Amino acid sequence: MRTVLNHTCLLPVSSTTTDSASPVPNSYESLEGGGYSGTSLRCSLRHLNARSPFPSLSELSSALGGLGGVSELEAETLRPVNLLQERNILPPKRAPPPEPNLSNDLRKVNCSPDTFRCTLTNIPQTQALLNKARLPLGLLLHPFRDLTQLPVITSNTIVRCRSCRTYINPFVSFLDQRRWKCNLCYRVNDVPDEFMYNPVTRSYGEPHKRPEVQNSTVEFIASSDYMLRPPQPAVYLFLLDVSHNAVESGYLNVFCQSLLDNLEKLPGDTRTHIGFVTFDSTVHFYNLQEGLSQPQMLVVSDIDGNHLVKDLLNALPGMFTHTRETQSALGPALQAAYKLMSPTGGRVTVFQTQLPTLGAGLLQSREDPNLRSSTKNVLHLGPATDFYKKLALDCSGQQIGVDLFLLSSQYSDLASLACVSKYSAGSVFYYPSFHHIHNTAQKQKFQKDLQRYLTRKIGFEAVMRIRCTKGLSIHTFHGNFFVRSTDLLSLANVNPDSGFAVQMSIEESLADTSLACFQAALLYTSSKGKRRIRVHTLCLPVVSQLSEVFAGADIQAISCLLANMAIDRSISSSLSDARDALVNAVVDCLTAYRANGSNIQPSGLIAPAALRLFPLYVLALLKQKALRTGTSTRLDERVFSMCELKSQPLQQIMRMVHPDLYRIDNMTEQAALHLNDSVIPQPPLLQLTAEKLTREGAFLLDCGSVMYLWVGKCCNETFIRDVLGFQNYASLPSNMTEIPELQTTYSERTRAFISWLLESRTFLPAFHVVKDDASTKTSFFQHLVEDRTESAFSYYEFLLHIQQQMSK
């Protein structure tokens, strides 16, 4: 049987609606307001039978006539590319996301692609047209990301559609000063009196100039209508593994020092609480109540006794130095944390260094090291017990999010443990082989991650709903959350580093509209105890031609959505099923393009330029730790890679899947960026193949969470001396984990380039200098996805395989 990743499925949807004058809400579902009345999701995957002629470039003008003629850019995205002949398809620099074909006025106010991105920037009019293109329709969101500019609106009246509860936004239409038409369900609503006044211009009678209607991302300060209870305080509980294994790894010293350094920067206000629980074979609590001369092992209390918290953090690493306890009672410690946190809600941060061996939630080792390189199916990708999922759901119900830091050199069954974060909207961090002395790169990464983790913005007791134009429906969500009703995500905690994805289908024809809109509303409590609603609205054109659907394909968004779908498939079915489905996604799409193209020669492997990177990205996905076979992969590392693909924002996923490779030993100022007083070189991106490496060069590989600087044996000694601070290649140590700050032009140029790459990152990568003959060389070469390995195709072989599958 042939495997495909279904773009549609069968699910019921809620039909709750709330009018602005509804009675006091009794659940978060009614609080944010329901979706359309009576909409149901009846989706089926239809077979491809119909064929329509594919317009040539000369015919494009009339095909796109409804959108003001074909632009040069659109013609370029449809240019047929023979992938077997055109080998250099990688753009010289990271390609920006495709720009939707909208009027300038709409384009200016549209949502940033960093926040909201659709797999198709031209929305097909019907499900039949979408099926014909064989591309997935979905959204990728980064709803709580750090923003430098965010219009915050304080108003007694938050204006929403009376029917579908959409928040007023730049894409509504004003029929006159007193009436506006919803852009999602088309209902006509009254403009409230208060909305007639514009607080920015201090003028009256221009509702269309208010900030809510001028910005596609806004944040409202919510009234008591949006609260079920008084906003909760910021409450942080740290659960610390203090078994022999944990103490020996040295993580406790790093954690305690990091929290001491950042204690004053924890988000919160005067109501903030902080607490600690330690565990080995037993669970220990600490009394930090004011008035005590020193902390006592007892129970959690508040942060006002700051000196007691500091005393405890200074004392903790030494308290367990001579422990002989090797057992881990993680389950009972989590149950205790749940009881402690239930009255308020908040965040539990768990540090674990081994397999839980005692009490509720105990686990046995399921990994067979002999099967790590198996080319057959990989077992145990799902949890061994439902204990951690059930606990997470209990936590979510009490507004408790659980984050997991796993620092382990042995198998710890992350597939089971990660459920505690996945279903409580938490995050998972993993540091394999962590040791504070023997693994400096991991120690530095852990320190940097903690710095960000402890100080980043946090939202408590959050819910998120995504609404879309009538006729479109959402049927599957990806990310860390609990789906409280069919279209409402419960996020006990929300953080600025998490991404989400959704799959959609087209229920009813969109022929009566030229625009489709999507709106994500995130209702949360800030760390200062304010109830806020962050709203993002995206607008895209609706098209009727297959060529336009292909022209508007956003290949990075498509690849990320398919990655999410493949992870689900590998757990619900099997890894080989998921891999086959990814290959078939490429085969189906290119077959659909060929079948509907009147001017495409049969020889070669032809893709429209907009999709030319599709086979490359899918091959790169197949070589990811999450999905690869035949290459030795520890089970926990595979599962962590799956967690990352399911919960990271798009840009982070793309760096992970298809890293950026640059030659940096010969960078010049030619075409450099001049920012402030810095000169930032712009070396071109290189294909991920060893063919591009030379022994005379130094090459930087940026994989998102890790960076490698590969230094060739015959690399220019000036570069080695001026950038790395060593006389020659032979004197370079094999375990360098940072670039020194040297007062040389070469050094400044190199550091300026790396700093520029890291500018928008929230988590800084681990850094490895790799010598041509070092042990880290293997992990560097595993990222060169265009090359052949013992168990996987080269890029060229993969193209031939796709071509062969298409001719079956």
User: What local confidence, expressed as pLDDT, does residue 75 receive?
Assistant: 79
d(C-alpha 78, C-alpha 82), whole Å: 12
Q: Which pLDDT band holds residue 293 (cuts at 50, 70, 90)?
A: low
Is pLDDT of 207 > 60? yes
User: What local confidence, expressed as pLDDT, does residue 64 receive?
Assistant: 34
User: What local confidence, expressed as pLDDT, does residue 33 receive?
Assistant: 66
Calculate mean pLDDT across residues 286-298: 62
39-86 pLDDT, tens per residue? 332 233 223 233 233 333 333 333 333 333 456 777 788 899 999 999
CB 619 within 8 A of CB 793: yes
Select, from the ranges 153-162, 366-375, 581-590, the one with the highest average predicted confidence (pLDDT).
Answer: 581-590
Calculate mean pLDDT across residues 201-214: 86
What is the percent of the chain where pLDDT is above 70?
88
User: What local confidence, expressed as pLDDT, does residue 760 receive?
Assistant: 82
User: What local confidence, expressed as pLDDT, does residue 88 receive?
Assistant: 87
d(C-alpha 129, C-alpha 139), whole Å: 18
What is the percent of the chain where pLDDT is above 90?
75
Q: What is the DSSP string of 253-273?
A: HHHHHHHHHHGGGSS--TT-E
Q: Which pLDDT band holds residue 364 (cuts at 50, 70, 90)?
A: very high
User: What local confidence, expressed as pLDDT, does residue 790 receive?
Assistant: 85
User: What local confidence, expressed as pLDDT, does residue 119 receive?
Assistant: 98
Give the residue, 250 or 596, on which the prediction is more confident: 250
How much is the pTM? 0.91
93 phi and psi angles, rounded to 5 deg: -140, 165
320 secondary structure, DSSP code: T
User: What local confidence, expressed as pLDDT, does residue 11 receive?
Assistant: 29
Give the residue, 14 or 571, on which the prediction is more confident: 571
d(C-alpha 143, C-alpha 114), whole Å: 9
Select, from the ranges 38-52, 164-178, 370-384, 774-788, the one with the highest average predicted confidence (pLDDT).
Answer: 164-178
Calculate mean pLDDT across residues 772-782: 82
730-748 pLDDT, tens per residue? 999 988 999 999 999 999 9
Is pLDDT of 35 > 70? no
Supply the mean pLDDT for the chain. Answer: 88
Q: Give the total residue count for the chain.
A: 808
Is pLDDT of 259 > 90? yes
Calculate mean pLDDT across residues 598-610: 79
d(C-alpha 458, C-alpha 652), whole Å: 20
Q: Which residues contact 768 (CB under 8 A, 6 or more apart)?
A: 441, 706, 707, 708, 709, 736, 737, 776, 780
User: What local confidence, expressed as pLDDT, does residue 630 receive?
Assistant: 87
Q: Which pLDDT band holds residue 236 (cuts at 50, 70, 90)?
A: very high
3-state secondary structure of 129: helix
Calculate mean pLDDT across residues 5-24: 36
Q: Nearest Cα to 518, choosing from 797, 184, 253, 783?
A: 184
Total Cβ atoms within 10 A of residue 69: 11
Give the residue, 10 or 403, on which the prediction is more confident: 403
Q: Which pLDDT band holds residue 1 (cuts at 50, 70, 90)?
A: low
Is pLDDT of 19 > 80? no
d(C-alpha 658, C-alpha 702), whole Å: 9
Q: Nearest Cα to 28, choosing from 399, 493, 479, 348?
A: 399
754-764 pLDDT, tens per residue? 999 999 889 99
User: What local confidence, expressed as pLDDT, does residue 413 receive?
Assistant: 97
The CA–CA distances, whole Å, from 508 to 35, 45, 99, 125, 755 equal: 16, 15, 26, 9, 48
Q: What share of the chain is helix, strand, coil (3-state, %, to 5)?
A: 30, 20, 45
- The label of the residue with tokens 């990728």 reads 140
442-464 pLDDT, tens per residue? 999 999 999 999 999 999 999 99
511-558 pLDDT, tens per residue? 999 999 999 999 999 999 999 999 999 999 999 999 999 999 999 999
CB 475 within 8 A of CB 2: no
Is pLDDT of 10 > 60? no
User: What local confidence, expressed as pLDDT, does residue 204 receive?
Assistant: 83
CB 100 within 8 A of CB 540: yes
Tell me which of 83-87, 284-288, 570-574 is least confident: 284-288
User: What local confidence, expressed as pLDDT, does residue 27 receive?
Assistant: 59
Is pLDDT of 486 > 90? no
Q: Characterize 362-401 residue by residue with b for buried, 16 or more Cβ atoms within 10 angstroms of its Cβ, and e for exposed.
A: bbeeebeeeeeebeeebebbebbbebbbebbebbbebbbb
Calculate mean pLDDT across residues 393-421: 97
User: What local confidence, expressed as pLDDT, does residue 290 receive?
Assistant: 66
Is pLDDT of 227 > 50? yes
Calculate mean pLDDT across residues 113-120: 97
